[in-house]
Amino acid sequence: MAALVIHLQNILRLVVKELRSLRADPIMLVLVVYTFSIAVYTVATGVKLEARDLTIGIVDEDQSDFSRSLLGAFGPPLFKVSKRIAANQIDDEMNSGRLVFVLEIPPNFQADLQAGRQAALQLNIDATAMTQAGNGTVYIQQIIAQEIANRQAGRETATSLPINLVVRARFNPNLDSGWFSSVMQVLNNVTLLTIILTGAALIREREQGTVEHLLVMPVTPVEIMLAKMVANALVILVAAVASLVLVVEWALGVPITGSLLLFVVGTAIYAFSVAALGILLGTLATTMGQFGLLAIPVFVVTQLLSGATTPMESMPVWLQWIMQIFSPTPHFVSFSQGVLYRGAGFDVVWPEIAKIIAIGTAYFAFALARFRKVIFA
């Protein structure tokens, strides 16, 4: 028991040392504050995944009542620009980026519809505007289908359907991408800064030569590692919770339906796992430049393949298995979405927490072995 108390006292003193070292680095503190405040707000308000302010040109070779009504259907707020153009203007308008969509209505289109003959429209899409191209195409198809249905029904009002489909979007009723991107940005920043802070703390001591001071002190490698992980994870945890409450919930108006305490516990466990990864990278690199080159691809892979940007189900099955076995990030994203969006309790998310603990324990064991070999060899 006395030995355990001594170990805890050593870890506490080393944690205080790490916090003081971080306080003495104003650039790193500014990075933490900026990443969890301005960066989260600007991403949530500036990066929109839904279609808006679309631009469309219509080549009307039919000059019928239907083509004129179709032109009027492409109006605000979904479409910012909707105008008639000539067929010889298509390439110029699309090459210059002024129009993302160009709809070509062939001659006799309305007559073919009325006669029951097969009719065709051509929609040209600038696929370099990927989000607008994908989502906007769906809206345009729906508008055209509705206009054709109205025309065939002989009236301009919405046609009555044999069923009444009631759509209710749960957890994000307005389908606002900012609700999703703001929370995901906080999660991504937890991963990024935990890796950077823990790895940089070790590299900084190796570059400045202060690690030799630790070697002559009555402390063990486990105590040194835990102190660095706890200190930096604590800073990230406080910043993440503050960002979630002040930026996401208060400034952006995104409701947090789940237990904040459960999220804090899960984030602390995840930060421990990622901090071990940061220590591991710090043992592989000898300079801050090398550490940066190692950390960037690790973060990019874990972030892009975590399910925070694209669904895990859209990835190849073998890649899903690799990410879920070797990375704690997909489990943390699933845990956070369940708690923050759907209000899930511990009885629902405990499998994800268990997986994070298992992967984090493996990272810690590997990092400790490397730490002993590189630092204390």
For residue 126, CA distances in Å to 55, 147, 288, 308 come to 10, 24, 42, 26
Q: Indicate the pTM of the whole model.
A: 0.79
pLDDT confidence of residue 244: 93
Name which of 98, 94, 97, 121 is nearest 108 in CA terms.
121
Check residue 326 and give its pLDDT. Answer: 92
C-alpha to C-alpha distance for 50 and 175, rounded to whole angstroms: 8
Q: Would you state the pLDDT for residue 159?
A: 46
Q: What is the rounded distance in angstroms from the CA atom of residue 135 to the CA atom of residue 115?
A: 32
The dihedral built from the CA positions of residue 233, 235, 240 and 242, taken in this order, carries a sign that is: positive
Q: Which residue has the higher pLDDT, 329 or 315?
A: 329
Q: What is the mean pLDDT of residues 196-202?
A: 89
pLDDT digits (tens, 9 = 90+) for 150-198: 766 655 444 454 556 566 777 777 777 778 889 999 999 999 999 999 9
State mean pLDDT over 343-356.
93
Categorize the per-residue pLDDT at 308 as very low, low, confident or very high, splitting at 50, 70 and 90: confident
CA distance 71 to 60: 9
Q: Determine the pLDDT at residue 51.
A: 67
Report percent pLDDT > 90 for the chain: 29
Residue 366 pLDDT class (50, 70, 90 cuts): very high
- Residue 166: what pLDDT? 65
Judged by DSSP in three states, 24 sits in coil
In order, the DSSP letters of 231-290 are HHHHHHHHHHHHIIIIIIIIIS-----S-HHHHHHHHHHHHHHHHHHHHHHHHH-SSHHH
Angle (CA) 331-288-198 rounded to 5° is 40
Q: What is the pLDDT of residues 243-264, one digit of tens each?
A: 999 999 999 888 888 899 999 9
Best mean pLDDT range from 45-54, 184-193, 286-295? 184-193
| CATH number for the domain whose boundaries are 54-153 | 3.40.1710.10
Tell me the per-residue pLDDT of 211-227, one tens digit each, with 9 for 90 and over: 667 767 777 888 888 88
Name the residue ranges covered by the structural domains of the chain.
Answer: 2-46+176-375, 54-153
- pLDDT at residue number 134: 77
Question: Is pLDDT larger for residue 209 or for residue 297?
Answer: 297
| pLDDT at residue 346 in the model | 93
Q: Which residue has the higher pLDDT, 32 or 165?
A: 32
Round to whole Å and give the CA distance between 130 and 294.
30
Higher-pLDDT residue of 150 and 45 is 45
Provide the mean pLDDT of the chain: 84
In whole angstroms, give the CA distance from residue 109 to residue 225.
Answer: 73
pLDDT on residue 154: 58
Q: What is the pLDDT of residue 158?
A: 46
- Read off the amino acid at residue 196: I
Q: Which pLDDT tens digit goes with each residue over 108-148?
A: 888 877 777 787 888 888 877 666 777 788 888 888 888 77
Q: Which residue has the tokens 């508008």?
A: 143
